[in-house]
Amino acid sequence: MSKSNIMNTYGRFDVTFEKGLGSKVYDTKGKEYIDFVCGVAVNCLGHSHPSINKVLNEQSNKLIHVSNLYWNIPQINLAKKLAVYSDHDQVFFCNSGTEAVETGLKLARKYGKLQSSTKNTIIYMKNSFHGRTLGALSVTGQEKYQKDFMPLMKGIKAVSFNNIKDLKENINEDTCGVIIEPIQGEGGLIKAEKGFLQEARALCDQFDALLIFDEVQCGIGRTGTLFAYESFGVIPDVICMAKGLGGGFPIGATLANQKASSAFSPGDHGCTFGGNPLACAVSLAVLEELVDKGIVDEVNEKSGYFVEKLEILKSKYNVIEDIQGMGLMLGIKVNIEPKSIVNKCFEKGLLLVGAGKDVVRILPPLNVKKEEIDEAFEILENVLADY
Ligand SMILES: *Cc1c(COP(=O)(O)O)cnc(C)c1O
């Protein structure tokens, strides 16, 4: 199999996957792996979930795509569902995390524009990750992602994450939006402090800027609540979602309150594939599974079980510095190259992924079974015992 036609943008493992079931994936040689990467927080119900497969089949026999020049039923129902489950009731649909962020950024710009011609600065956090398109990349506070793509967007300003003083010194009347990940995912599983988010909320209110939470990775049940903001008790104006929203099928969404969303009028924004009936029908099934079947409610208990085990590893092996993250978005901070642990786990049939410069990230499906946690844990302990 020649792989030379794929553009060279990823550092990949030398493996080709062919099928998956639940928490397991199988390569072309039939080797089984426990998948605790889940497409990087995408496969929240594991692989080949019967509810997803059923709706894919049924909806594809009805209607796969129709333009946003018209209405379609799954889009209306999914928007309604997101409104019912959250504090906001206005949704824009797209296909990915970066597009959900672009929507939030454009909404903030338009919101500012309606007030004054100079209200257009977007504040973002250092060490953040918001996506690869040029707008989202501009507010991604990590040099390695930005350096070869300069110049980036104008009207942006970086502040230190969790640093109230820095935020206070930089926010002003010209700020139209502040974008924050409640848990920095790619940046190394770093949680926002509740006090920082509360202060960001208060400052955005004071200066009439939109508070945007990027929940692309930490949303959709990962933290033990459907939306991450609920776990922190701070309600943003805009919420960007993708990854887990379709359980593996591509869909993104930007959810906003009336105050923010009313800035957009017809023609301001659009997305050809956004809100197509197939993606929306799948997402509806995923949300029903996660919420109505109580899977999200079990996240914290499973997390507790997992963290307890990780704490034991931490006390046994000096390579572990700390256990980070929240819910089923966990990280092991290590004092060696995380890649070396990830690679050894891979060899033994456990998929994990690095985050930041010193964290091994664990993102199991939200419906993971305790026995699967035990199984993964055994491999991890085996690997760590070698250091
Ligand atoms: C993955 C991610 C994105 C980008 O999502 P894509 O679907 O890859 O465009 C944006 N923000 C956060 C927090 C992410 O983790």
pLDDT tens by residue, 251-296: 999 999 999 999 999 999 999 999 999 999 999 999 999 999 999 9
pLDDT tens-place string over residues 308-326: 999 999 999 999 999 999 9
Show the DSSP H helices in the chain as ranges: 38-41, 50-62, 73-85, 97-113, 134-138, 143-146, 164-170, 194-206, 228-232, 258-261, 277-287, 299-316, 338-347, 370-384
Distance CA 366, CA 348 (A): 22
Residue 97 Cα, ligand 1 centroid: separation in angstroms? 4
Per-domain boundaries in the chain: 17-48+295-385, 52-292
Nearest to 105 by CA among 76, 78, 85, 133: 133
Question: Residue with the nearest Cα to atom 11 of ligand 1?
Answer: 130
| Exposed e or buried b per residue across 347-357, where buried means at least 16 C-beta atoms within 10 angstroms of its C-beta | eebbbbbbbbe
The answer to whether the CB of 331 is under 6 A from ligand 1 is no
Q: How far is CA 386 from the centre of its chain?
A: 32
* Cα 16 to middle of ligand 1, angstroms: 23
Read off the pLDDT of residues 143-164 as tens digits, 9 standing for 90 and up.
999 999 999 999 999 999 999 9
Atom of ligand 1 nearest to the CA of 250: 7
Percent of the chain with pLDDT over 90: 98
Topology at the third CATH level for domain 52-292: Aspartate Aminotransferase; domain 2 (3.40.640)
Beta carbon of 361 within 6 Å of any ligand 1 atom? no
- Superfamily for the 17-48+295-385 domain: Aspartate Aminotransferase, domain 1 (3.90.1150.10)
Task: Give the distance (Å) from ligand 1 centre to CA of residue 138.
Answer: 14
Q: Which of 98, 134, 245, 361 to mutate to test the pocket of ligand 1 (most atoms within 8 A of CB)?
A: 98
pLDDT at 298 over 80: yes
- pLDDT computed for residue 3 by the predictor: 82
**What would the pLDDT profile of 197-225 be if each residue is shown by its tens digit?**
999 999 999 999 999 999 999 999 999 99
pLDDT average, residue stretch 61-73: 98
Nearest to 252 by CA among 263, 241, 267, 238: 241
Q: Is 207 helix (H, G, I), strand (E, B) or coil?
A: coil
Mean pLDDT throughout 239-261?
A: 98
pLDDT classification of 387: cutoffs 50, 70, 90:
confident
- Convert the pLDDT of each residue in 117-137 to its tens digit: 999 999 999 999 999 999 999
